[in-house]
Structure 1
Amino acid sequence: MLIGIDASRAVTAHPTGTEVYSQRIIQTLLALDSPHRFRLYFRSTPSAAAFPSAELRVIPFPRLWT
C-alpha cells in the first residue's frame, strides 16, 4: 500500500511541539519493518537525508490542504 502523509510541518525552521511530533512520528513510521511505501508531501524541498526511505513530493503553497 502507498501511504501519503502531509509532512509539511515536519521540516520547519523553528520547530515547536507539533512540528517535533510530526517529524518523530514520520521517522518512526519509516523505520518500521513494513511492506508499505510512504510518500511525503511538503511545501518546499526538504533535505533528502531527513527521510531517506520515503518518496518526497513538493506541492507549493497554497495547494497543500492544511
Structure 2
Amino acid sequence: MLVDDFGWGDAACNGNWKLFVKADGSGAELYDLGVEPKGDRNVAADKPEVVKRRAERGLTWRNELP
C-alpha cells in the first residue's frame, strides 16, 4: 500500500484501488483503476466496505507517524 499525506488529507493506492480521504476521515473518494484506469468515477458510495477498510489503514499509518 502506498500512502501519502497532502496536508488536507491522505491518498492511498493498493492494488486497483485509489482512495482520497480528508484528514478528519470525511469526504472519501474511491476509484477502481482496474475498471476505469483514468479514475474519473468515484465509487465510494457503491463500495463502503472498501472505503472503510482502506481509510482505517490510512488512519493507522497517520497515527504511527512521529
Same fold (TM over 0.5): no
**TM-score normalized with structure 2 length:** 0.33
* Higher relative helix content: 1
Greater relative contact order (Cα 8 A, min sep 6): structure 1 or 2?
A: 1
TM-score by length of 1: 0.33
The structure with the largest strand share of the pair is 2
